[in-house]
Each structure stands twice: as structure tokens, then as C-alpha cells.
Structure 1
Amino acid sequence: MEKQQVPSEGTKPDLEMLKLDATSAARDVDFGQVLEVETTPEMERKVLRKLDFFLIPLMGGCYMLQYIDKLAISQATLFNLREDLSLVGDQYNWASAIFYFGYFGWSWPSSYLVVRLPLGKYLSGAVFIWGGCLLVHAACKNWGGLMAARFFLGVGEASIAPGFALITGMFYTRAEQPARQAAWFFGNSIAVLLGGLIAYGIGNIHVTSIAQWQLLFLILGAVTSAYGILLFFTLPDSPAKAIFLNRNERAIAVQRTLKNKTGVLDTGKFRWGQVLMAIKDLQTWFLVLYTLCVNFCNGGITSFSAIIITGFGFPRLEALLIQMPIGGAQLVFLLLTTGFASVVPKSRILMMMVNTLVSMVGMILIWKVDDDNRAGKMTGLCLGSVFAANIPLSLSLISSNVAGFTKKSTVSALMFAAYCIGNIAGPQFFIPSEEPAYPTGIKAAMAGLAFGVFFLACLYVFYVWENRRRDRLYGSPRELTETEELQDELSNKTDHEIESFRYLL
């Protein structure tokens, strides 16, 4: 396809030519209005406030429910789940890990479906299904039933974080994305705080007709499915379909993100050439390897935190409340590092390295502190989960540094596949005979975090080298007109193909 002539500044744009480049989802945008609407800083701030007011609570609430539901399997062990289902040996380990097999298996079809289907409707349907899978947990009678329920729960949850990363890229500029990714990720930290209280409350409900672990899954599943229905009517598929914005505000929302050049309007058609570009891209594999390594820690801590805490000497129900400071530690470091990354240029990857190193210190405390020092070991467990604050920063790297909607969804799928593999492998190092200290699991988590820091350093060096190479070849990127920016947005090009594209660190 020949390169199109770019209109000079001040020339009326050829809107029909632009429309020919647009895909089905992009045709929902009135390009004439996008280019011609007159905006002021105050109008843009008003649109941004509306986006924050509606989108962030919707995504944050959903992500909170996702992590509460993920913690439920660990909390259920304190309500005799293992005894009631006659789990022996490493069967609980595999019941925890099989969730990520479902997550991994669906991440690939999901990367295709988020491009082909209306994004908001697809995600709300996924939430509804995952809530139903959680309800099914209450009907499990043995290990086989639990394995099936866990697998399909992973299928239901697989689309959520990558989908929210795409929505953030659609509605926010590259500079705004770290703070917004962190804002909806707050739900993760709040989930640890509230999840313990919810489980503690359920633990104090005494009924003879149903076990407490069954009640836990029934309540959480019903709430999640109801939330999926709410999302169906409120979560937009694109800026052009945001029901909380008027016609002019939708045009401004599109116009604000044109400089991203990341192809958020290029939905509706899956481009296999961009899949190949994603696989050949070094940044893809540095992100994938980092994600794989650090999730050796995540898989173990998420599934075994309740057991580890009882091993510190805390009573069963008290152990549920003792989990709450873990969420507090995540929240503090999330605010500090994402706030710093939003204000200080070229600091996202450095902040990710800081969080990962803090988690390494936490693992060392759990491993080396004396068994009678409960406060020291609990401090280590709180710090050991801090690396989870990197998730919004790593997602912001994808939304800011990967152009082309298909390429972006492919990189997200590969990264979340690595997330699943790490979470599958991690629990296998927590050997049942070593309960509750799990020294092998703790050392495996430490090693994974160390390798994570190494791959982050490689990613940083790659971005610096690539930006300098592009400056040598093309010169410093110039300021583009809105028409040129819109053509870049609809050009179906990736970050490697757009000469003015530079990576954010």
C-alpha cells in the first residue's frame, strides 16, 4: 500500500481518505468533529475529570473483586476446605495452580476477541462468567470438582487486566497512563484489606446446613456476577461510545489521545503481521521474562499466605485479619512509586526495580529471621508482596510503548501467559512436607525476584539504545499537526514503523 500524502498544516484534511483507513470501531468516531472541534485547557480538564470519575471506579471495583476472589482459595483452607474435600499431598498446590492453566489457555483467544468484539461488552460478560464459576466452587465435593471449577475461574478472569490496560490506553495520554493504571490497581491493595475482613465476618457465621468455605464462595460469586451486569451497561467499548460523555466531549476524548500513536482506534480487524512483529520485538521478551520470574513469588504468596501466617503462630481467624497489613504495604509503595513515576520523567522502570528489590528484602526476612520473631517475619511477608505494585507500571509500559492494537493485545497476551506460567510454577516449590515455613518456596521466590531486576535493567538499556538509534536515523521527532497525528493513529503501523515514535522509560 502506498504511503498517503500528508496534508500540510492549515490545509483542510481529506476526511474521506482518513475514513477509508479506519476500521469498523474507528468509524464510530466523527473524524470531522475530532479535527475541527475547538478545545480549551478547561474543556480538556472537564473531560479528564469525567473519565476519572466514571472509568477509574468501575475498573478499580472490578479489580478489587478479582483479587478478593483469588484470595478466597487461600482463606478457605482456614475453614477446613482441604479436610472437607479430602485433599492430600500436593493436591492443594495443583488446585491453586490449575487456575493459571485456565488463565493461560484463554489469554490467547482473548487477545483475538478483544480486537474483534466490543471491548466493554466482552469484559462485562467475562466478569459475569467468572462470578458464576466462583459460585460453582461451593458445589465441589472432591479434588476433581475443585480442579474443574478453578480452571474455568481462570478462563473467566483472563481478560480483565489486559482489557483494562487497553481501555486505559484508549482514554488517557501516555503521560497520564501510569497514574491511571495505578488508580484502578488500587482495587488490588484494597482487596487484601477488605478480603480479610470479609472472610473474618463469614468465619463468625455459624450455620449447620452449609460449610463456611462454601458460604465464602457463594457470597463472593453472587457479588461478582452482579457487578458484571453493572459493567455491561456502564463500561464503554471506546471513547465514541462513552455514555457519560456528550458528542463534543467524545470528540475531545479522541483528540486528547492522538499523540499516543498507539493505535487505540485500530480495532475491529486482527492483523497477523503485527503478531509476528510482537514476537520479534526485544521489549516483548524482556517484559515476558520479567513477568515470568517475579510470579514465582506471587504464585506462592497468594496461595499459601494464610498457611504461612498461621505458621508464625497466629490463630486461624486472627490470621485472616493479619493479612490486612500486606494490602497496606502494597498501597503505600503503589502510591509512592507510581506517584514518582508520574512526576519524574524516565523513572517507570527504575521504580519497578525499587519495588522488586524491596520484595527481595522481605523474602530474606522471612527466610532468616528467628522463628520466635513474629513481628519480623510478618514485616517480611508484607514487604515480600510489594512487587505487585509493579503491575500497573508494567501495563503502562505496554499501553505507552506498543503501537498497533493487534500488537498491543498480543504483547499483553504473552505477558499474561508468562504471569500464568510463573504462578503455576511458583506453588510447586512450596513442598507440603515443609509446611508451614516452606524454605524452598521462599528461596525460589527470592531467585525469581533477582532475575526480575536483571530483566528490567535489560529493558531500560534497550529503550535508551533504541531511542538514540532512532534519533540518529530520523532526527529528533517534530511536532505533528492533528491531521498527521490522526493518520498515524489510523495507519495500522506499529511502534517500529512510526518514525516519530519514541519509547517512554
Structure 2
Amino acid sequence: MPDSGHAPTRLPAGSGITVRPWRTHLFFVIFSSASLDLVRGQLSRIPAGSRSPMRAKDLICGHSCLHHLYSETLTTTSMFGPLESNGAGHAPSVDVKSFVREANSGDATADESFAEEHKDGTGNTASDINTTDSLDVGRPQSDGKLRASLVRKFDHRLVPAMFLAHLLFFLDKSNIALARINGLERDLGLSGNQFNTALAMFFLLNVLFNIPGNLALRRVGGAIWLPSLITAWGLVTAFSGFITSFTGLCVTRALLGLTESSFLGGVLIYLGFFYTADELILRVGLFYSSTALAGFLGGLMAAGFGQIKVSGYMGWPWIFFIEGSLTVVLGLGLLLILPHTPADAKFLTPSERELAIQRTQAQDRWHYLDTPRPVDVDPEAVGGVRAGEEAFVNKDPLTWVTVKRAIFNVITMTMAVGAFFSIQAIYSFAMFLPTIIATMGYKSLKASLMTAPPNLAALVFTISISLWSRRSGKTALPLNVCSLTGILGYTLLIIGAKVGPRPLFLDADVQYAGTFLVAMSVNATPPLALTWMSINASPHYVRAIALGFLLSIGNAASFLASFTYIKTEAPGYLKGHSINLGCLAGLLLIGILLPLYMKRENRQREQGRRDYRLEESQRNGLSAAEHEFRLGWMHPGFRFKV
């Protein structure tokens, strides 16, 4: 400490305790100078490396250390006991809340902010707002139970809702493939590549409205925006059953693309309000696994609905009527149960709501790694919330600087290319799987049923790979495993493809085995890729724009996907399979190179080579705190997760 010749003491990282700043003069009043020297002597032996910077004039003690000191003082027993390596002493339980409140009442302005840190699997931290009133002897343990209860309630309310919504999102988008083998192409008189052209119309407006839709979610609120989108595309799907021409098909597909445009990115942003980065990986994997379930159920439903012949509508229109109606019902229902933010979640207790708000505010700030600063950086500027920061922490302005920071960087651009490869593979596979299976010799009913098993395998694989990613704390490695699985699958599709009357090398049944591997790969890849982008982008508008850009570029691949499998290539579809194999090979290359770049950038920041971004000349008239908040993932303290 400056006033005593001692350097500010740091408590050990990851101890789970709440760090509280205390004015040095309070200790002089409470304790004798000899005792204070003993305190300093004990604290000097605590390992350095706290991730919460301390005020230069404050003496820092952890929650457990304070408990030990105060309890021993109030019970007039031996004042000091040996401190454990984690900074925790052992003492009888006492009520220190009132004592602490008294100690702070004399100088509230000096200690306006506190930081409670949560460590994730990569070493990053997120600072939560805390108050003196929250100090409690059992807080670390009670916080664990409270956090578990909070996350469990979010899981029960949000994950099933988003799972069902995404299931219908993909079902309504891909049911045209099943309608095709149930007579749509015949009844509408489509010829040549008109069916492929109609598929491409879906993505015309879809690509253009990804980013505006994500920004609208911030303005309107997820509890209104997402259910409104769901209801809108449900209506479009239901009315698609009435089309009678190629023009009508193109119009309905374009409207469906418009109404679905910002749903996926919106869900990722919306769930990010409620879950931390580590929690988000598994939840996105769970809700995205509904893609495979949609393929599984879609085949079964189409097999049944395609047999309905009522009121002059034969077969395929009923696929649209029934599935669209289900979507409308879900959208209207979600308007009643979804909260905008954790602060609006009426199903939470007051304590849970307070913790949820703290978690949300923490995610709107940068994340810090436990590394010493190589240059002289204002310690207050690296903390969580500090005096005056509350005035702008919830104001995340949209400016051209924010747009450039979100898009024009190596990570966003590289991930956008990866999204292009990923979405090309999944959409072309989903849209043409029934057609591919039909070329193996199966008729419409059996072809619909045969799409179910590969998608069921994909459902299990997607959940499994998401669990692995969550537990290992890694995203790139599971992503590469998915790419390799898909490469093997398309290899089987190619070598089993028929050229003329016979397959190239192996029996054509090998193709069906290949569809299992491809389904597993292409369904599990997007949630990993999108979550990887989401957890590495900050603050809110940067995340929204980056995700919107990612999905826009990715959906641009859908134009290519719409023409990947054309009639003239049947029955082997060698060109289509080869294109998708090449895309997955490119995705594998990105999954290898991008983590190397991220690790290199993390080392550069650890060595202080990005600290120039904190200099006053870089602020553009902003305060130090606001400038650092807006830096987000460009902040020298931010660490990328691989």
C-alpha cells in the first residue's frame, strides 16, 4: 500500500469469495498498530494473482479472512490464527452484517463498487455488482445453491420454449422437401430447376434482414419480438398450402425467409441475457438439437399428413396446414410466458432476480484473465463496476465504430466463412435428403420414413457433442470432430453413388450409411460455431451485429445450397456431394487455424502489447471507464475462448 510501503495485496484467484475494499484508517481505529502489522504480514504470504484490482489506498481482505478477524475480535479470543492457502480462516459463526454496515456508513462514497468474480473454464472472469448488504458468512455456499436454483428455473422456462420454437423453425423451412416427394412439384407443374429457384427465394430477404432483426430485438424486447416472428412465419407456412403456381410458391418462400430471418440470431442473443458463456454452450446445443428432431418428426409427419385427402386438398397441402397451425399456437403461447430480461422474470424469487440481474450486468462488461499487468495501468480501470460506471453500463450505443469493431476483424471474418461452409452443408442436406433417399429406389411414403433414422442419430450426436464441449470448456476441438465425421459421411455417399446402372465402388446401400454420418455432422456443427462466436463477442451490440453478419453470410450459402442437387445430376449427385465435402474440409481448416490465432492474440495481450488501446489518445473524448466498456472484446484484458 502506498501509505505504508506495501504493495496492494491480492487474494488468490478462484477461491469463490467476495472481495471487499476497506479503508485503511478503519483498521487503525479497530485494531492496534501492532495487530495491523501482523495482518499485513499474514496477507503478504497470500499468493498474488487476484483478478479484481484493488484501490491503491484500500487494504483488501476476502470474505473468509474478514470473518476470521472480526469474529475473533468480537469474541475476545485469540485475534489471529493461521490463514489457509486459500485465505480462509476458521472461526465461530457470528453476525458480521451489522458490523460491516457500521464500518462503511461513515464513508460510503469512497467504496462505491465491489467486484465478485466468477471464473469459467477458460480463465476468463466476469465482474458482478455487489453491495455491502450482501455480505454474509455463508455467502459462497448460499450463492452456489441460489445460482443452481436460478439456472434450473431458466432451464425449465426458456430451454423447452426455444427448443420447440426452433423445432418448428426448421420444420417449417424444410417441409417443402417432403412436400416435393408427396406431389407438390407435380401439382404445381414445376419443371427444370424451378423447384431449386423457389428454394433460393427463401434466402433473398432472409440474408438482408438478419442484422436489422437482431438490432430490433434490443429495442422491442425478446419476449415480444421472438413470439411475433414465430406467429408470423406460422401464418406464412399455413397459407403455403393454398398455393397453386410457381409464382405463389416463390412469394411464400420469400415471405417465410423474411419472417424467419432474425430468429436464430435473436435466440442466441436472448439466451445470452440469462446464461453465462459457459452455460450457454450446452443450452444452445440442446435447443439446436431440435434440428435433427425436426428431420426425424418431419419424415414421420409427412408420411401421415401426405395421405390426407380432404376438402379437395390432396396430400402435401396438409403438411403446411397442420405444421403452420402448430407454429401459430406456439407463438401466441410464448407471448404469455417469456420474460424480456431476468429483471422481468416473475417466476424468480427476489434473491434469484437480484443475482440474475448481476449476472446480466457482468456479461455486459469485459472479461478478465488473472494475469499481472505488464505496464502501469490504472487499477480502477480494470475492475468490474466502479464509481460512475453504472451511468453507462446499460447504454450500449450503436455507432459506426461499433459496426466496424464487430465485423472488420480476423475472428468475425473467419467465422463468417466457416458459417458459409456449415450452412451450405446443413441446408443442402436437409432440403434434399428425401430426394437423395428416393433415388436409392424408395417410393414417397417409404422415402419419408427413411429420413427419420439418420436424423434420430443426429439428435443423439448433437446433444452428446454439446455436453462434451460444455464439460471440456472447448469449442474448436468438438467442431473439428464434427467436420471429420461429415467428411467421412460424404465420402461414403460419393463412393456409393450410382453412375449409370451401377455404383462407383460399393453397393448403393453404403450411401444410406453415409447419410447417418452426414446428418450427425451437419446438425451438430452450427450450434458450436454460433456459440463460439457469441461467447467471444462483447458488448451487446457487437455481439448482435457479429452474429447477424455471421448468419447473413452463412445464409448466403443457401443460394448455393438450393442448386447443389439438381435433376440433371441424379441419381449419383456426385457434384453436390463433392461440394459439401469440400465445404466441411474448409471448415476443418478454419477449426485448426483460428484457435492458433486466438491463442496468439491472448499471448499478445498477456505480454501487454495491446495496452496501447487504453491510452488517453484512444478514448475519443470518452471517460476511461466508458472507453474500456465499449472496447469489449478488443480490451487488452479480454481473453478469447477456444
TM-score bracket relative to the smaller structure? 0.7 to 0.9
CA distance in 1, matches of 2:359, 2:406: 26
* 1:474 Cα deviation after fit: 7.5
CA distance in 2, matches of 1:186, 1:223: 19
* 1:84 Cα deviation after fit: 1.0
Whether 1:377 and 2:511 are equivalent positions in the alignment is yes
Query: Is the deviation greater in 204-213 or in 179-188?
Result: 204-213
CA distance in 2, matches of 1:197, 1:15: 63
Residue-by-residue CA offset, 1:171-206 (whole Å, 9 max, x unaligned): 112221211111111221211121111111112323
After superposition, the CA RMSD in angstroms is: 2.9
CA distance in 2, matches of 1:193, 1:207: 25
* 1:160 Cα deviation after fit: 1.4
Taking a change above 3 Å as real, the CA distance of residues 99 and 14 of structure 1, as seen in their structure-2 partners, is: farther
Whether 1:451 and 2:586 are equivalent positions in the alignment is yes
Taking a change above 3 Å as real, the CA distance of residues 216 and 180 of structure 1, as seen in their structure-2 partners, is: same
CA distance in 2, matches of 1:220, 1:447: 34
* 1:216 Cα deviation after fit: 0.9
Taking a change above 3 Å as real, the CA distance of residues 35 and 269 of structure 1, as seen in their structure-2 partners, is: farther
Taking a change above 3 Å as real, the CA distance of residues 198 and 491 of structure 1, as seen in their structure-2 partners, is: farther
**Equivalent residue, structure 2, for 1:501:** 638
Identity fraction in percent? 24
* 1:424 Cα deviation after fit: 1.0
CA distance in 1, matches of 2:322, 2:634: 49
Taking a change above 3 Å as real, the CA distance of residues 263 and 424 of structure 1, as seen in their structure-2 partners, is: farther
CA distance in 2, matches of 1:15, 1:490: 22
> Aligned AA for 2:427?
G
Whether 1:133 and 2:268 are equivalent positions in the alignment is no
Query: Structure 1 unaligned runs (5+)?
Result: 19-29, 477-486
Query: Is the deviation greater in 149-158 or in 448-457?
Result: 448-457
**Equivalent residue, structure 2, for 1:90:** 193
Give 3-state SS (helix, strand or coil) of 1:215's partner: helix
Equivalent pairs counted in the alignment come to 479
Alignment of 1:463-482 (within 5 A): 463-473=598-608
TM-score (structure 2 length as normaliser):
0.70
Residue 100 of structure 1 contacts residue 423 of structure 1 at CA under 8 Å; is this kept in 2?
A: yes
Select which of 196, 202, 208 maps to 1:99: 202
**Equivalent residue, structure 1, for 2:408:** 280
Residue-by-residue CA offset, 1:310-368 (whole Å, 9 max, x unaligned): 101112101111111221222232133212111113x3111101101111111111111
Residue 126 of structure 1 contacts residue 157 of structure 1 at CA under 8 Å; is this kept in 2?
A: yes
Residue 133 of structure 1 contacts residue 221 of structure 1 at CA under 8 Å; is this kept in 2?
A: yes
Alignment of 1:220-369 (within 5 A): 220-261=323-364, 266=394, 269-345=397-473, 347-369=474-496
Whether 1:166 and 2:280 are equivalent positions in the alignment is no
Taking a change above 3 Å as real, the CA distance of residues 168 and 66 of structure 1, as seen in their structure-2 partners, is: same
Query: Is the deviation greater in 331-340 or in 355-364?
Result: 331-340
Larger radius of gyration: 2
**Equivalent residue, structure 1, for 2:167:** 64
CA distance in 1, matches of 2:277, 2:625: 15
Query: Is the deviation greater in 104-113 or in 268-277?
Result: 268-277
* 1:491 Cα deviation after fit: 6.3
> Aligned AA for 1:290?
G
* 1:280 Cα deviation after fit: 2.0
Residue 288 of structure 2 contacts residue 527 of structure 2 at CA under 8 Å; is this kept in 1?
A: yes
Specify which structure has the higher proportion of strand.
2
Query: Structure 2 unaligned runs (5+)?
Result: 1-52, 62-103, 115-127, 368-392, 612-623
> Aligned AA for 2:442?
F
Give 3-state SS (helix, strand or coil) of 1:233's partner: helix
Residue-by-residue CA offset, 1:27-85 (whole Å, 9 max, x unaligned): xxx97779848652111111111111111101101011111112210000112101111
Select which of 271, 274, 287 maps to 1:184: 287
Residue-by-residue CA offset, 1:148-187 (whole Å, 9 max, x unaligned): 1001101111121111111222111222121111111122
Taking a change above 3 Å as real, the CA distance of residues 248 and 295 of structure 1, as seen in their structure-2 partners, is: same
> Aligned AA for 2:144?
P
Residue 261 of structure 1 contacts residue 501 of structure 1 at CA under 8 Å; is this kept in 2?
A: no
Residue 242 of structure 1 contacts residue 250 of structure 1 at CA under 8 Å; is this kept in 2?
A: yes
Query: Is the deviation greater in 153-162 or in 184-193?
Result: 184-193
Residue 205 of structure 1 contacts residue 212 of structure 1 at CA under 8 Å; is this kept in 2?
A: yes
**Equivalent residue, structure 1, for 2:381:** none
Query: Is the deviation greater in 163-172 or in 202-211?
Result: 202-211
Residue 341 of structure 1 contacts residue 348 of structure 1 at CA under 8 Å; is this kept in 2?
A: yes
**Equivalent residue, structure 2, for 1:407:** 542
Higher RCO (CA < 8 A, seq sep 6+): 1
**Equivalent residue, structure 1, for 2:526:** 391
**Equivalent residue, structure 2, for 1:149:** 252
Whether 1:461 and 2:596 are equivalent positions in the alignment is yes
> Aligned AA for 2:585?
A
* 1:209 Cα deviation after fit: 1.2
Taking a change above 3 Å as real, the CA distance of residues 90 and 54 of structure 1, as seen in their structure-2 partners, is: same
